[in-house]
Amino acid sequence: MKKYAVAIYQRDKNNHEKISAIVVDAESEEEAFAVAVGKIIKNDGKFNNFAFTAWHCTEEGYWE
């Protein structure tokens, strides 16, 4: 497993905006996104229109 920082931007139908940043363990950016979305849904109970990006953390602690 690798560490990924995932940033997710959401906007609902009323144009309310929210940015979430979560660090997760995953094998790929896609898996990191899925894990992060699951955590958001668990905490907020919903998930709206979105955009996301994910960064992999190297062993030295730098984000790629």
The domain ranges of the chain are: 21-47
* Residue bearing the bigger pLDDT, 31 or 10: 31
- Kindly state the average pLDDT of the residues 6-22: 82
Q: Which two tokens stand for residue 47?
A: 């998930």
Q: Which two tokens stand for residue 29?
A: 């950016």
pLDDT of residue 56: 76
Tens digits of residue pLDDT in 23-57:
889 999 889 888 888 887 777 777 667 777 777 77
- Sheet strands side by side (includes 49-57): 17-26, 2-11, 49-57
Torsion angle of alpha carbons 21, 1, 56, 16, nearest 10°?
Answer: -20
Max CA separation in the chain (angstroms): 42
pLDDT tops 70 at residue 62: no
pLDDT of residue 26: 92
